Amino acid sequence: MPLPVPTPHPRGPLAGYRVLDLADEKGQFGTRLLGELGADVIKIEAPREGDPVRRSGPFYRGEDGPETSIAWWALNAGKRSVTCQLRLEVGRQLLHRLVAVSDIVVETNPPGRAAELGLDYATLAAVNPGIILVSITNFGQTGPYKDYLATDITAAAMGGLMYLNGDDEHGPVRTTAPQAYTQVNTQAMVGAMTALFARGTNGGVGQHVDVSMQEAAANALDNASATWDLLGINNRGPGLRRMVGGNIGARYLYETSDGWLAALSAGGLFGPNANTLIDWLDENGEAGELVQPTWRERLSTMTPIEPEELLYLEERFAAFCSRGKKLDLVTEAQRRGLGWAPVQSPSELAACEQLGARGFWTTVHHDDLDASFAYPGAPWKLSATPWAQRGRAPHIGEHNADVYGELLGLEEAELRRLRLRMVI
């Protein structure tokens, strides 16, 4: 797709705030969001090897390396990078000097490890009473599972997300995109912003934000938790259907000649739009018995129907969809007042005219590669203090001289000594 024209960076709503990012995948996307809202986000990395995410594929042009990881690019665009060896006392002292001039610290160490590194809230608050420490862990700082190991897939399982995907035949399945990581990133940033707001009302004192990936996943279960609490019913993975209140409804995914479309309640055959859809099916010779007045009356008034009757509706609608192209079907459905949508692949998203018209895609120039790439933008627009993509992901320690010199007043001779001692 053609790349949008880059625009100057506006002053974002978090301009003037500084964030220290010591996070892994559980926090790097969230800190990127803070940076795109204007905060100065400084990624703290280990000297030489850098952050472990740099070794995560896929890699640009298949060339493995710490600067070609597309995962690294996606999670860390717009940040600055400094190196600091936190296993050394002098490195921890250096970090504390950065904490003294920062607003938020985001870390993802296992419970107890942060204190060993001098990253616990008591230590950081002694350095800077206004600091907000966001600690993101698999299961939180307390509880019987606090020391359990986890990844996105295990957190999605223990948070209940996986149980709601799949079907009875195949069992629970993982959502391909890392939903537990995404949920905990966004929830952690909500916590950080809430603490930042609270700091402005309580005399400038910060606080500790304890974030659990399991709890973030469990917070995204739609009506499943309430269904159990109120009705004693477990919603489960309904496959191509949707489950509400323990009841499996009509299919909502249907195959077309070139893909899939989503259409709740058999496309609208069960509800106030039933006659509209029946007429459309009839125009194409696919309505069958549905043109009969008794069917029209029962479907338009949502009179309960038997399972075999629901199956008949789905068969008529599936046959109709299989003959058309998804975008043609969706366009005509929307014209007729039916809320259908195409199931879009990543390549189709990149070419989506709606996203293009909204300016969702942004251009990021990678000067080291002499190439520009399209990056996804924000899902919201602020009229006075806009979101902005603020550049490519940093190289390892790319901003050591700028950050340590600008913020801490270290001169090149001192930086050289720190490099020789492998502190930075």
Q: Mind listing the pLDDT tens digit for each residue in 343-391?
A: 999 999 999 999 999 999 999 999 999 999 999 998 888 999 888 889 9
pLDDT tens digit sequence for 159-204: 988 888 777 777 788 788 889 999 999 999 999 999 999 999 999 9
Give 252-349's CATH code, choosing from 3.30.1540.10, 3.40.50.300, 3.30.565.10, 3.40.228.10: 3.30.1540.10
Q: Look at residue 246 in the predicted model and tell me its pLDDT.
A: 46
Q: Look at residue 249 in the predicted model and tell me its pLDDT.
A: 64
Cα 319 to Cα 297: distance, rounded to the nearest angstrom: 22
- The ranges of the chain with pLDDT < 50 are 5-6, 244-246
Cα 262 to Cα 256: distance, rounded to the nearest angstrom: 10
Q: Look at residue 32 in the predicted model and tell me its pLDDT.
A: 97
Pairing of the two strands 40-45 and 18-22? parallel
Q: Look at residue 228 in the predicted model and tell me its pLDDT.
A: 66
Give 18-220+359-420's CATH code, choosing from 3.40.50.970, 3.40.50.720, 3.40.47.10, 3.40.50.10540: 3.40.50.10540
Provide the residue ranges of all domains of the chain, joining segments of one domain with +.
Answer: 18-220+359-420, 252-349
Q: Look at residue 237 in the predicted model and tell me its pLDDT.
A: 61
Q: Look at residue 9 in the predicted model and tell me its pLDDT.
A: 64
Cα 198 to Cα 324: distance, rounded to the nearest angstrom: 54
